[in-house]
Amino acid sequence: MKKILLTALMLSVITACTKTEEFCEADRQFHLRFGKSKNTPFHLEEMVDTFYSVQLEDSFIVGNVDEIRYINDKFYLICKKEGRITCVDRNGRFLHTLKKKGHAKSEYVTMNDADISLDGSYHIYDGAQRKLLRYTPTGQFRDAIIVEDVPNDIAVLPNGDYLFYTPICNPANYNDGLWQTDSNGVFKK
């Protein structure tokens, strides 16, 4: 019964997702009947952990967004789980996507955090390799620097320096907490 219900639910989701213009929260809610009682509404995210989308006409759909950056009239939508940064203009029109997951020199294994500098360059911290990979505004690999610690968050300062945040685990270690490096990753303070 559960298998039939789940199949019917997924089929209804696939066939019902044709509307692209006015998407609202109610579009992702379902009301299911179990026996004679009706349960409370739930979101599709409670049953399915990953969404995939297909671009239709000139509109697009972005699934997960962990962080948003607004730089030079562009929005950068950062999805760490999928290792993707989508860039859209201030009107929401798609411009480009950066996704370089892999094991090559110019790729990252994981996207633990990312930031965009004022010139539109991409800075992606890969915790698996303990590297900060840098890409040009057009997405071309520039270089990578080694990061000795394992920060949770990174930020690119206007002068090109980096801020790293590492949870305080060992007060004797100078890299615990918030720390700053120059643009080459050399510790400053």
pLDDT at 157: 94
Residue 185: count other Cβ atoms within 10 Å of its Cβ.
16
Locate all alpha helices (DSSP H) within the chain, ordered by sequence: 2-16
Name the 3-class secondary structure at 27. Answer: helix
Of the candidate ranges 28-37, 136-145, 175-184, the one whose mean pLDDT is the lowest: 28-37
Instruction: Quote the CA–CA distance of 63 and 58 in Å, as a whole number.
Output: 17
pTM: 0.66
Instruction: Quote the CA–CA distance of 132 and 143 in Å, as a whole number.
Output: 9
pLDDT tens for each residue of 172-189: 555 668 888 899 888 888
pLDDT band at 159 (very low <50, low <70, confident <90, very high): very high
